[in-house]
């Protein structure tokens, strides 16, 4: 089933609002948006893959 143009616009708007929602990062303790969280987690993953850190500190939501 495909979304209508209106449905697609509503979905993208809701997704963008969720990306702007702020949470507290459990490892660093500061607030950041989900958008920024993706970048932080990607950097942590790259440090883990390069061997800079011994364990990947994953982030899980409730």
Within a domain: 56: no
- Give residue-wise pLDDT tens across range 1-59: 688 999 999 999 999 999 999 999 988 999 999 999 999 999 999 999 999 999 999 88
Q: What is the count of structural domains for the chain?
A: 1
Separation between Cα atoms, residue 49 and residue 43, nearest integer Å: 10
Within a domain: 60: no
Separation between Cα atoms, residue 9 and residue 55, nearest integer Å: 39
Closest CA to 60 of 28, 25, 20: 25
Q: What is the pLDDT of residue 32?
A: 96
Separation between Cα atoms, residue 50 and residue 48, nearest integer Å: 5
Residue-range definition of the domain harbouring residue 41: 5-49
Q: What is the pLDDT of residue 8?
A: 95
Within a domain: 54: no
Q: What is the pLDDT of residue 21?
A: 95
Confidence check: pLDDT of 62 > 90:
no
Beta bridge partners of 33: 22
45 neighbors 58 (Cβ within 8 angstroms): no
Within a domain: 37: yes
| pTM tops 0.85, yes or no | no
């Amino acid at each position: 089933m495909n979304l209508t143009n209106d449905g697609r616009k509503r979905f993208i708007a809701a997704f963008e609002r969720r990306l702007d929602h702020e949470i507290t990062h459990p490892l660093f303790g500061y607030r950041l948006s989900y958008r920024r969280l993706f970048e932080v987690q990607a950097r942590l993953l790259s440090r883990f893959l390069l061997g800079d850190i011994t364990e990947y500190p994953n982030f899980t939501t409730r």
